Amino acid sequence: MENTTILKEIWDNGEMPVLAFLRKKERGGPAYHNRAADALYPSGRTDFWNCFVYEEEAEALRQAIWDSQERTAPLFCHIQDMVYSAVLFEQGDFCVCMLQDVSAYYEENQRIMDEAVMANQAKTNFLSEISHDIRTPMNAIIGMTEIAMMQNDVPRRVQDCLDKIKTASDHMMSLLNEVLDMSRIESGKVVLQPEQIDLADLLHEILIVVKAQADGAQVAFHLEIGRMERENVWADGVRLKQICLNLLSNSVKFTPKGGTVGMFWEVVRDADPELVQLYVRVWDTGMGMSEEFLKRIFMPFEREQNTTISKIQGTGLGMTITKNLTEMMGGRIEVQSRQGEGTCFEIWIPLKAGAEYEDARKTVLQGRRVLLLDGEAGRGKNHMELLKGLGMTADWARSAEQALDFIDEAVFDVQEYFAFLTVEKVEGVEVVLFLQDIRKRFGNRLPILLLSESDWTQIEYLFTSAGVDAFVPMPLFTNRLLAELYMLTEEGKQERADQESREEYDFSGRKILLVEDNEINREIAQELLGMYGMDIETAENGEEAVAYFEGTQPFSLDLILMDVQMPVMNGLDATRKIRSLARSDARSVPIVAMTANAFMEDIQRSLDAGMDGHLSKPLDMDQMRGCLKRFLGGKSE
Partner 1 sequence: MRQYQETYIQNLKKIAALAELSGDIPLDVDRFLAERKKKQEEIDRLRYENTELLRQYLMPVLDNIISADEAEVNELAEFALQLAPGVKQLDLVLTYDIHNALIAYARKWELRDMLIRELYLCGMSLYYMQNFMARAGKRLYSVKIRMLFGEAASWLPHYDEIADPQTRGYIHRSMANLTLGDGWESEENGRRKIRAMRRSLQVLTDPVYQEKTPSLPWDTFIYKSHQSRMTAIDFMRRGFGDQDLVREIMESAEYVRERQLKDSQNRGIEPDMRWTVEYEAVLYHCGIRTLPELLLGLEKFYMKRNPLDYSQDGIWQNIYLPGLYAEYLSFEEDFRIKKKEVLGHMYRMVVRYVRNAPNNQLNAQLLHTLIAILESFQEYPDGISQKDFLLNLVACRNPDSYAFQYMTGMVSGILMEEAVRKMPEAFVGVLGCASREQVQQSVGELTAFARESGMLHDIGAILFSDMVTLAGRSFMKEERIMYAHHVYAGRLMLSRCDSTRPYAMTALGHHRYYDEKGGYPEDYVRSDNPNQAVTDLVSIAVYLTSYVSEREKMQNSVLSLAQAVVYAQRDGGKRFHPEFVKLLPGVLNRLSDCFTDGKRKAYQKALSLLRREEI
Stretch that binds partner 1, among 46-54, 192-200, 470-478, 600-608 (CB under 8 A): 600-608
x/- contact string, 511-530, with partner 1 (CB under 8 A)? -------xxxx--x------
Stretch that binds partner 1, among 40-48, 141-149, 266-274, 375-383 (CB under 8 A): 141-149
CA distances from 561 to 366, 450, 474, 569, 625 (A): 44, 47, 52, 15, 13
Residues in the chain: 637
Nearer to partner 1, 412 or 599 (CB): 599
d(CA 442, CA 435): 10
Q: What's the gap between Cα 240 and its chain centre?
A: 8
Q: Answer for the pair 333, 347: CB distance below 8 angstroms, yes or no.
A: yes
Give the CB-side neighbour count of residue 561, counting CA atoms within 13 A: 26
Paired sense of beta strands 342-353 and 275-284, if any: antiparallel
# chain residues binding partner 1, by CB under 8 A: 42
472 pairs with which residues across the strands?
Answer: 451
Q: Which residue, among 390, 369, 407, 362, has the nearest Cα to 476 in the 3D structure?
A: 390
Site for partner 1 in 567-596 (CB under 8 A): 595-596
Binding status of residue 603 toward partner 1 by CB under 8 A: yes
d(CA 355, CA 364): 19
CB of 135 to partner 1, least distance (A): 8
Q: Answer for the pair 45, 22: CB distance below 8 angstroms, yes or no.
A: no
x/- contact string, 400-439, with partner 1 (CB under 8 A)? ----------------------------------------
Nearer to partner 1, 526 or 597 (CB): 597
CB of 461 to partner 1, least distance (A): 5
Binding status of residue 140 toward partner 1 by CB under 8 A: yes
Close Cβ partners of 152 (under 8 Å, ≥ 6 residues apart):
none
Nearer to partner 1, 324 or 606 (CB): 606
Q: What's the gap between Cα 545 and its chain centre?
A: 55
From candidates 433, 554, 598, 635, binder to partner 1 by CB under 8 A: 598
Binding status of residue 553 toward partner 1 by CB under 8 A: no
Binding status of residue 173 toward partner 1 by CB under 8 A: yes
Nearer to partner 1, 109 or 565 (CB): 565
d(CA 169, CA 143): 10
Stretch that binds partner 1, among 154-162, 220-228, 336-344, 598-606 (CB under 8 A): 598-606
Q: Which residue, among 105, 92, 171, 162, has the nearest Cα to 138 in the 3D structure?
A: 171
Q: Answer for the pair 227, 189: CB distance below 8 angstroms, yes or no.
A: no
From candidates 59, 93, 107, 146, binder to partner 1 by CB under 8 A: 146
Paired sense of beta strands 18-22 and 195-198, if any: unpaired
Stretch that binds partner 1, among 98-106, 132-140, 201-209, 577-585 (CB under 8 A): 132-140
Backbone phi and psi for residue 563, each to the nearest 5 degrees, phi listed first: -65, 155
Stretch that binds partner 1, among 1-9, 105-113, 281-289, 609-617 (CB under 8 A): 609-617
Binding status of residue 621 toward partner 1 by CB under 8 A: no
Binding status of residue 563 toward partner 1 by CB under 8 A: yes
Q: Answer for the pair 616, 596: CB distance below 8 angstroms, yes or no.
A: yes
Binding status of residue 148 toward partner 1 by CB under 8 A: no
Q: Which residue, among 186, 222, 213, 242, has the nearest Cα to 475 in the 3D structure?
A: 222
Binding status of residue 618 toward partner 1 by CB under 8 A: yes
From candidates 28, 42, 143, 554, binder to partner 1 by CB under 8 A: 143
d(CA 399, CA 408): 14
CB of 69 to partner 1, least distance (A): 51
From candidates 138, 214, 529, 592, binder to partner 1 by CB under 8 A: 138
Nearer to partner 1, 520 or 582 (CB): 520
Nearer to partner 1, 528 or 586 (CB): 528
Dihedral-angle region of residue 603 (phi above 0 means left; psi in -120 to 50 means alpha; beta otherwise) = alpha
Helices 431-442 and 400-412 pack at an angle, to 10 degrees, of 10
Helix H or strand E encompassing 101: strand 94-101
x/- contact string, 440-479, with partner 1 (CB under 8 A)? -----------------x--xx--xx-x------------
Binding residues (CB under 8 A) for partner 1: these are: 135-144, 146-147, 173, 457, 460-461, 464-465, 467, 518-521, 524, 563-565, 595-603, 614, 616-618, 620, 622
